């Protein structure tokens, strides 16, 4: 019962080709049934939008539409949970969101810390409450640039998550991979970073997405990793139960040893 399998799908979404991207994703994951599959940020839309109109055209409402229904059907049938990034239309705004959907329910995380020009296209999310259950485990969700704020992972860890699913579109080489290793160590949780690959251009500007998706353990080990270019699903067993032990030595509990009264926030 404590066995828990996590999949990461690293691939190259095509900018503004929602139908194709969803089909491509399905073809990668259709035959697999781990407990959880984490996919990149904005996986159905691509990243480097030119206009707000483009973002709106790619955006989806939850729980309406084909995107939601495809993953709901798949989750129910395969008994697998999915975390996948998409542009979300919600109450007149567009968010850089991740859908989490399990055989029993669903929810949305809206990216709290927007990176660079995302601020022109998206409204930032207003909470770090995106936590769902699979078996007896709690999984939290962050997106990409959220990694650089230790407070974000800490908040989810203090709320009891065993792992953070971390859909990403990383462009700074290797920094987030390093950072999410340290988030795993300092909170004694697993971090699951699903990054994309490929290049997107807009005029003379160019984003190279850096791949190297990974799972980091509470000991700071990279227990699953991808290279910079590969497009595939990989699955690995993860001992989520072990994260309930917050002692890094017999006398050091990474939460209880905190000296909250003397920290500045």
Q: And the tokens for 192?
A: 């699951």
Nearby residues of 127 by Cβ (< 8 Å), 6 or more positions away: 110, 112
**Binding piece for a copy of itself, criterion CB under 8 A, among 17-25, 30-38, 161-169, 243-251:** 243-251
Q: Which is nearer to a copy of itself, 70 or 222 (CB)?
A: 222
Distance CA 205, CA 117 (A): 12
Per CB under 8 A, 111 contacts a copy of itself = no
Per CB under 8 A, 135 contacts a copy of itself = no
Site string for a copy of itself, 62-101 (x = CB under 8 A): ----------------------------------------
Q: Considering only residues 64, 151, 244, 245, which one is a binding residue for a copy of itself as defined by CB under 8 A?
A: 151
- Look at residue 205 and give its three-state secondary structure: strand
Per CB under 8 A, 128 contacts a copy of itself = yes
Distance CA 187, CA 162 (A): 9
Q: Considering only residues 31, 53, 92, 116, which one is a binding residue for a copy of itself as defined by CB under 8 A?
A: 116
Nearest Cα to 243, choosing from 167, 177, 175, 192?
192
Between vectors from CA 190 to CA 187 and to CA 192, what angle results, nearest 5°?
A: 125
Spell out the alpha helix ranges (H) of 173-251. Answer: 175-187
Q: Which residues are registered as beta bridge partners of 81?
A: 36
Which residues within the stretch 217-236 sit at the binding site for a copy of itself (CB under 8 A)? Answer: 220
Nearest Cα to 200, choosing from 57, 54, 48?
48
Total of residues contacting a copy of itself (CB under 8 A): 43
- What are the catalytic residues? 41, 111, 144
**Binding piece for a copy of itself, criterion CB under 8 A, among 21-29, 49-57, 58-66, 120-128:** 120-128
Per CB under 8 A, 117 contacts a copy of itself = yes
Q: Considering only residues 154, 208, 241, 253, which one is a binding residue for a copy of itself as defined by CB under 8 A?
A: 154
Q: Which is nearer to a copy of itself, 65 or 174 (CB)?
A: 174
Distance CA 60, CA 49 (A): 16
Nearest Cα to 83, choosing from 130, 120, 152?
130
Mark residue 65 as left, alpha or beta (left: phi above 0; alpha: psi -120 to 50; beta: remaining): left
Q: Considering only residues 86, 145, 209, 226, which one is a binding residue for a copy of itself as defined by CB under 8 A?
A: 145
Quote helix, strand, coil % in the chain, to nearest 5.
25, 30, 40
Q: How far is the CB of 5 from a copy of itself (least distance, A)?
A: 27
Which residues within the stretch 175-194 sit at the binding site for a copy of itself (CB under 8 A)? Answer: 175, 178-179, 181-182, 185-186
Q: Is the dihedral of CA 227, 240, 79, 69 positive or negative?
A: negative
- Give contact residues for a copy of itself (rule: CB under 8 A): 112-113, 115-117, 119, 124, 126-128, 145, 148-152, 154-155, 158-159, 174-175, 178-179, 181-182, 185-186, 220, 248-252, 254, 257-260, 262-265
């Amino acid at each position: 019962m404590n066995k828990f399998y996590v999949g990461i799908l690293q691939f190259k979404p095509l900018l503004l080709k929602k139908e194709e991207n969803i089909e491509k994703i399905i073809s990668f994951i259709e035959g697999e049934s781990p407990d959880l599959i984490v996919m990149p940020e904005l996986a159905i839309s691509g990243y480097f939008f030119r206009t707000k109109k483009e973002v709106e055209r790619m955006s989806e409402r939850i729980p309406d539409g084909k995107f939601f229904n495809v993953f709901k059907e798949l989750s129910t049938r395969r008994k697998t949970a999915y975390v996948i990034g998409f542009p979300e239309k919600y109450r007149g705004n567009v968010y850089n969101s991740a859908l989490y959907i399990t055989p029993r329910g669903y929810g949305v995380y809206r990216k709290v810390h927007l990176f660079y020009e995302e601020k022109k296209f998206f409204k930032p999310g207003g909470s770090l409450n995106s936590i769902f259950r699979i078996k007896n485990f709690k999984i939290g969700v962050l997106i990409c640039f959220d990694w650089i704020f230790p407070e974000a992972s800490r908040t989810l860890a203090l709320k009891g998550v065993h792992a953070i699913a971390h859909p990403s579109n990383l462009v700074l080489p290797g920094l987030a991979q390093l950072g999410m290793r340290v988030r795993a160590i300092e909170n004694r949780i697993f971090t699951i970073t699903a990054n994309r690959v490929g290049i997107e251009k807009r005029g003379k500007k160019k984003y190279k997405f850096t791949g190297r998706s990974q799972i980091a353990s509470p000991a700071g080990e990279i227990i699953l990793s991808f290279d910079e270019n590969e497009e595939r699903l990989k699955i690995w067993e993860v001992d989520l139960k072990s994260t309930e032990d917050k002692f890094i030595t017999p006398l050091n509990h990474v939460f209880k040893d905190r000296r909250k009264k003397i920290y500045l926030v």
